[in-house]
A and B are shown apart, each in its own frame.
Chain A
Amino acid sequence: MSAVTKTRLLALLAVCLNVAGNATLGAGMREMGATFSAAGYERAFTHVLVVAGIAILALWFLTQLALFSRADLSFVLPVTSFAYVLLAIVAHFFLDEEVSPLRWVGISLIFVGVLIVGATKPKTVSTAGRLESLE
C-alpha cells in the first residue's frame, strides 16, 4: 500500500471515529437532558453512551495526531470536514433530526470541497521546512 493511500485511509478512519464519537456522545447527552451544573456533568460522566462517546473521541484524537504526522494541516482540515456530511446523514436517518434544504446545500458544498482538496497531494513540505519556520 502506498504512503498516500495509507494517509487517505487514516483520514477516513479519523472521519468515521469523529462521527461515531459525536453521534454516541450526542445520543447520551440527549438522554441526560439539559446539563449545565457540575453535578449534571458528573452524572453525565457515568452514562454509558457519554463514556463510550468520549472513549471513541479519544481514539479520534490519536488518529488525528497520527494524520498530522503524515499530511499537511491545509489538507487534513478540509478533508476531515467530511465528518460534517456524515454527521448530518446520521442525524437525519438514525437520530430523526430535521435537516433543512439550505443545510443540505451546505453539506453538498463541504462534500465538493473535500473532493477537491482530497485529490491534492497530502504532504507538500518536508519536516525540515516546518522546523525552520517554528524554531
Chain B
Amino acid sequence: MRWALVGVIMLCNAVADVCNAAGMKHQGEVENLGAHAVAIMLRKIAHNHLVIVGIITMVIAFFALLSLLSIANVSFAVPATAGSFLIETVLAKVLLREDVRLVRWAGAILVAVGVALLAF
C-alpha cells in the first residue's frame, strides 16, 4: 500500500509540475509580484486548463501524502519522493524540450541523492 501511495505522489507531482510549467509558459512571463500583476496572473489562471490540471493533481498528491504519513514516517516519505526529481528532469527534456545538458543532470542527481540521504 505504501509503495502504491509513493507511486501516486510521484506521478501526481510530476504531472503537476509539468502542467504548471507548461501552462505558465503559455500564459506569458510574470514580470513582478505586485498586487496588480498577481491579480492579472490569477485571472489568467482561471482560464488556463494546464495550470488547473496541475493544481488538481497537486491536491491529489497532497492527500496521498497525508495518507502515506498516516501509515509511514517522514523518514520513509521524504526520500521515497526524491526519485521524482529525475523523472521530472526526463519529462522536462522530452515533453517540454528543455536543453538539459550534463551539468543539469549532474545537479539533479546530486539533489536526488541528497534528498534520499535526508532519511538517515
Task: Give A residues with C-beta under 8 Å from B.
Answer: 10, 13, 36, 62-66, 68-70, 72-78, 81, 84, 88, 100, 102-103, 105-114, 116-117, 119-120, 124-125, 127, 129-134
Contact = CB atoms under 8 A, between A and B. Distances in A.
A113 B108 contact: yes
B18 A73 contact: yes
Nearest to B55: A61
B103 A73 contact: no
Nearest to B84: A77
B9 to A, nearest CB: 15
Contact of B107 (A113, A124, A131): A113
Contacts of A70: 29-30
A112 B108 CA distance: 10
A102 B104 CA distance: 24
B30 A77 contact: no
B96 A102 contact: no
Contacts of B108: 74, 77-78, 113, 117
Nearest to A116: B107
Contacts of A36: 70
B107 A114 contact: yes
B41 interface: yes
Nearest to A131: B26
Contacts of A132: 97
A124 B97 CA distance: 9
A33 to B, nearest CB: 14
Contacts of A102: 117, 120
B24 A69 contact: yes
